[in-house]
Amino acid sequence: METAALISKAITSGDLKGARKLVSNYLEDYSVDADIEHLSGVIYQNEMDYEKAKTCFLNAAKYENTPVVLRLNLLKTHVALKELQDAAEVAREIAESDNRALLYAAGDYLMVVRQYEIAETFFRIAIKKHPFDNKLKSKLLQTLRRSTQVAKALELLSDKEFVTRIDSDVLFELAVTLMEVRQDRLAEDMYKKALEIDPNHSAALTGLAVILIQNGENEGGINLLERAMEIDENDTRPYLLLTNNSKYKPKKEHEDQLMKLYCSPDLPVSNRIEATFALFNLFHRKNDHKAAFKYLIEANHLVDERLDYDIDEDLENLRFRKQFAESIEYVKEKSACPIPIFIVGLPRSGTTLLEKIITNHSEVASGEELMLLPNMLARHFVMEGGEVKGSSKLMRDEYFAKLKMLLPGGEEYICDKMPFNFNNLFLIKKILPESKILVIERNRYDVLFSNFSILYAGAALPFSYNVDKLLKYCKNYDAVIAEFRDKYPDTPIIKYESLVSDPDAHIRQIINYLGLKWEEGCLSPEKNSSSIRTASATQIRSGINKQGIDRWAVYKDLMQEHAGHMMNE
């Protein structure tokens, strides 16, 4: 219908007043039909009058020949009105459709608005109807991962129907899921299988490169990233990973393409963020610090604006958790094995280096950054009538049972370097009294600048992209550590600068404090066979060195100009 096309064009161009006038003119000569009801609903939807939009969509649905997109718009309206039961019903109806474009659009919408429960059901129904649609399978895996239901995603590995005739994209999503649960070897296999099917799958090449670099195979990782760039020169992630790798030697053609991507007005925000951080890395390496700092400020602003993170709310939750832990009863026994070693510090303070030093000892296993404590605390304790109810012993027993499952060779110690454990220190002293605690400190300006100069994976460390939020986080950390040290003054404080300047003396002191016999391997953390999953991978694989000391100093004047209050802290 010509009028419907004109109305759609007016809506698309944002001329809602003109669209409404076209509807009125049409109704002067003709009766309402499905198209006009639907388009009237779209106008109301754009005006955010969702009740009227819903009425129009429901009226349009009564006609026999309804627009294909009607159900999708009705779904969006129910979600906007928080009518999630109705939204779920409409989603189930769409999932039975044979229209693939509609299926993909509805699924993408549910993921964007984070209606993961509805999305999961939607994709499972759609996959049952279209069992060989790998795009739907990939989106189901993404949904489960984003909703932190990784266990459900891994169950699909043993689902024969799901894994039948899967393509490289599904294998890639399975690999990403496995990496989230630190099953790097299985993830590596999945990436390789994806590349057997499609040797030009640039995202799988990038994923495999990350694993190689984490495991110290820098040259192989760099080669794969360069291949990924050649295959898809518009993918910004390889540029970011390469420019952040100290072993990579920038090439003129890569620099030109990166700048071209950055200057593209159509570049999506997520890619713009990666490109801008990559440009910071590039100009930093060229010692053009003024240009580098310009890109750094822009990159952090883009991320901070996108995350819209409330540091005050987060800090209040941390304070509550600390108070909650203070109400929990002490456990008297001290006979458990393995003995946990907790390394705490601000992000980018040297926690990874210290962990690799300690876990290069034959009796210490690497737990990397474990989430056991916060997850168990929520499961074993509740607040009832203003009182904490739960069992310290049951939590302790489960904790050690899970630790033993993580030990590959029956080691007597296991190291947990989750930086956020600083907020669990009082809990650790109560429930795990035999544990060892090490606090590492680094020059505060280096810590602040280092956090500000890194794009973390996902939404990790959301406070690090805004100077004021970063300072608030650091102040909270300082207050907790000071209070803990007042109560437990024997807790050792390790100075990062001293550790890397005189490693032999300080590492011997650390090993002695832990009650371990001296092993020369502790002086060579770069030879540690365990994976390094943090931004410190290439630095640590270069051995203990002083390159990280005063890295911020070349930006001192620029930092003073941009955030003088940070410099005065």
Structure tokens at 146: 């984003």
What pLDDT digit, counting tens, does each position of 47-103 carry? 899 999 999 999 988 887 778 888 999 999 999 999 999 999 999 999 999 999 999
Please give the Cα distance from 154 to 149 (Å, whole number).
Answer: 9
Q: Taking the CB of residue 493, how many other CB atoms lie within 10 A of it?
A: 11
- The pLDDT value given to residue 346: 94
Amino acid at 554: V
* pTM over cut 0.85: no
Contact assessment for residue 240 and residue 227, using Cβ atoms and an 8 Å cutoff: no
Structure tokens at 143: 């949904």
What pLDDT digit, counting tens, does each position of 489-547 carry? 999 999 999 999 999 999 999 999 999 999 999 988 888 777 666 666 666 666 788 88
Q: Give the percent of the chain with pLDDT over 70.
A: 95
Taking CA atoms, 169 is separated from 21, 138, 200, 203, in Å, by 46, 7, 12, 9
Considering only CA atoms, which of 137, 86, 150, 154 is closest in space to residue 115? 86
Please give the Cα distance from 287 to 452 (Å, whole number).
Answer: 18
Contact assessment for residue 517 and residue 463, using Cβ atoms and an 8 Å cutoff: no
Sign, CA dihedral 161-165-170-175, equals: positive
Place of tokens 């593209």: 264
Three-state DSSP class for residue 250: coil
- The pLDDT value given to residue 569: 58
Please give the Cα distance from 552 to 550 (Å, whole number).
Answer: 5
Contact assessment for residue 122 and residue 91, using Cβ atoms and an 8 Å cutoff: yes
Contact assessment for residue 544 and residue 502, using Cβ atoms and an 8 Å cutoff: no
Q: Poorest-confidence range of 175-179, 283-287, 515-519?
A: 175-179
Three-state DSSP class for residue 529: coil
Chain Cα centroid distance, residue 397 = 30
* pLDDT, average across residues 445-450: 91
Taking CA atoms, 500 is separated from 215, 436, 507, in Å, by 22, 22, 10
Sign, CA dihedral 536-542-546-547, equals: negative
Please give the Cα distance from 27 to 10 (Å, whole number).
Answer: 17
Place of tokens 């779920």: 88
Q: Going edge to edge, which strands form the sheet with 413-416?
A: 364-366, 413-416, 339-344, 436-441, 493-495
How far is it between the farthest Cα atoms of the chain? 94
- The pLDDT value given to residue 418: 83
Helices (H) and strands (E) counted in the chain, each on its own, are: 30, 7
Amino acid at 51: E
Considering only CA atoms, which of 111, 118, 174, 99 is closest in space to residue 146? 111
What pLDDT digit, counting tens, does each position of 381-423 carry? 777 777 778 888 888 888 888 887 777 667 788 999 887 888 8
